[in-house]
């Protein structure tokens, strides 16, 4: 029943033209862009926070209290995401970033699917542009002692017992997932680059985020404050919907490629 999600044609055409004509686009994605790849979102029906309390799994205090529980949950998510593939929205955005130097992709996602779509573009010989990742990477680790990062893809974590959990080769302290938990600061350089791009762009293209988590949710407001506009793709309404020039209640995988294709006429 894909027709049920078909957004009004006039809105689609308007969004396409805004994107085509924009002097600078900042794209902000959230979990919804990966939903059709099979990666669960956080909030809403079927979301991770329906069955799991964030404060028990996604805070530094939770990790200090029960690292085995936290690592078991993250390893389960790593296994799940490894079985998923980038969808048509990830691929269309990777192509857009490759085609236009005035586009910046900023993601809250830790699943690496934008990166894999970009790698596919690079493998085909085009310029591969990697996203700015606000909340880290599901597959990286960081030392709780000395802060050393593992890089994008670390070894599978043995969650048999607390004694089998990974430790730092350098200082021996426990390694943790390299993600940003509640109450933690985002990387200052990454965040500043994202906000700079938002201020410098005429359009903020927001895809698949509930826009509830700060400071990421303020990125579209920076574009708006600088005189630009917001285009939103999301099957549900969000706090941004009322501020958007075009808000398409539609899923990402079919809609994003449609918006990034050529408008039906040149007017």
Under 8 Å between Cβ of 174 and 67: yes
Told to check if 169 binds Zn ion by CB under 5 A, we report: no
Told to check if 36 binds ligand BJW by CB under 6 A, we report: yes
Told to check if 231 binds ligand BJW by CB under 6 A, we report: no
Told to check if 206 binds ligand BJW by CB under 6 A, we report: no
Closest CA to 25 of 138, 104, 92, 114: 104
Among 185, 265, 266, 267, binds ligand BJW (CB under 6 A): 185
Told to check if 70 binds ligand BJW by CB under 6 A, we report: no
Q: What is the spatial distance between Cα 209 and Cα 199, in angstroms, rounded to a whole number?
A: 19
Told to check if 146 binds Zn ion by CB under 5 A, we report: yes
Q: What is the spatial distance between Cα 142 and Cα 160, in angstroms, rounded to a whole number?
A: 20
Told to check if 30 binds ligand BJW by CB under 6 A, we report: yes
Told to check if 236 binds ligand BJW by CB under 6 A, we report: yes
Question: Residue 46 or residue 170: which is nearer to Zn ion going by CB?
Answer: 170
135 is catalytic: yes
Under 8 Å between Cβ of 61 and 228: no
> Which run of H or of E encompasses 76?
helix 67-82
Q: What is the DSSP string of 173-216?
A: PBEEEEEPPTTPPPPHHHHHHHHHHHHH-SEEEEES----STTG
Q: Is the dihedral of CA 209, 210, 216, 220 positive or negative?
A: positive
Question: Residue 18 or residue 186: which is nearer to ligand BJW going by CB?
Answer: 186
Q: How far is the CB of 180 from Zn ion (least distance, A)?
A: 19
Q: How far is the CB of 140 from ligand BJW (least distance, A)?
A: 11
Q: Which does 40 bind (CB under 5 to 8 A by kind): ligand BJW, Zn ion, none?
A: none
Site stretch for Zn ion (CB under 5 A), options 68-76, 148-156, 199-207, 240-248: 148-156
Told to check if 151 binds Zn ion by CB under 5 A, we report: no
Residues 6+ apart with CB under 8 A from 170: 143, 146, 148
User: How many residues belong to the site for Zn ion (CB under 5 A)?
Assistant: 8
Structure tokens, 253: 């995988």
Per-residue binder mask for ligand BJW (CB under 6 A), 104-133, x = binder:
----x-x-----------------------
Q: Is the dihedral of CA 207, 213, 219, 224 positive or negative?
A: positive
Question: Residue 39 or residue 197: which is nearer to ligand BJW going by CB?
Answer: 39
Collapsed DSSP state (helix, strand, coil) of residue 141:
strand
Q: Which does 37 bind (CB under 5 to 8 A by kind): ligand BJW, Zn ion, none?
A: none
Give 202's Cβ-side CA count (13 Å radius): 10
From the number of C-beta atoms within 10 Å of its C-beta (0-12, 13-18, 19+), residue 208 rates as buried
Tell me which residues touch ligand BJW (CB under 6 A). Answer: 30-32, 35-36, 41-44, 47, 58, 108, 110, 135, 179-185, 208-210, 212-215, 233-236, 238, 251-252
List the catalytic residues.
135
Tell me which residues touch Zn ion (CB under 5 A). Answer: 143, 145-146, 148, 168, 170-171, 173
């Amino acid at each position: 029943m894909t027709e049920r999600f078909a957004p009004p044609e006039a809105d689609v055409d308007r969004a396409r033209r805004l994107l085509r004509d924009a002097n600078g686009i900042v794209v902000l994605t959230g979990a919804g862009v990966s939903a059709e790849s099979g990666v669960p979102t956080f909030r809403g029906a079927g979301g991770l926070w329906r069955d799991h309390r964030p404060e028990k799994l996604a805070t530094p205090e939770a990790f200090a209290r029960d690292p085995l529980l936290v690592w078991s949950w993250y390893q389960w998510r790593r296994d799940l995401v490894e079985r998923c593939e980038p969808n048509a929205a990830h691929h269309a955005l990777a192509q857009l970033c490759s085609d236009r130097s005035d586009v910046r992709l900023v993601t809250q996602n830790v699943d690496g699917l934008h990166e894999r779509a970009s790698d596919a573009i690079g493998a085909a010989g085009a310029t591969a542009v990697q996203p700015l990742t606000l909340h880290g990477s599901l597959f990286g680790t960081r030392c709780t002692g000395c802060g050393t990062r593992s890089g994008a893809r670390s070894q599978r974590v043995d969650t048999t017992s607390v004694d089998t959990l990974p430790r730092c080769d350098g200082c021996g302290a426990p390694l943790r997932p390299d993600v940003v938990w509640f109450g933690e600061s985002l990387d200052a350089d990454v965040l500043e680059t994202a906000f700079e791009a938002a201020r410098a762009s005429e359009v903020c293209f927001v895809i698949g985020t509930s826009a509830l988590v700060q400071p990421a949710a303020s990125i579209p407001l920076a574009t708006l404050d600088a005189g630009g506009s917001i285009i939103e793709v999301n099957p549900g309404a969000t706090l941004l919907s009322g501020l958007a020039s075009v808000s398409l209640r539609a899923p990402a995988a079919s809609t994003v490629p449609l918006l990034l294709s050529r408008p039906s006429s040149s007017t």
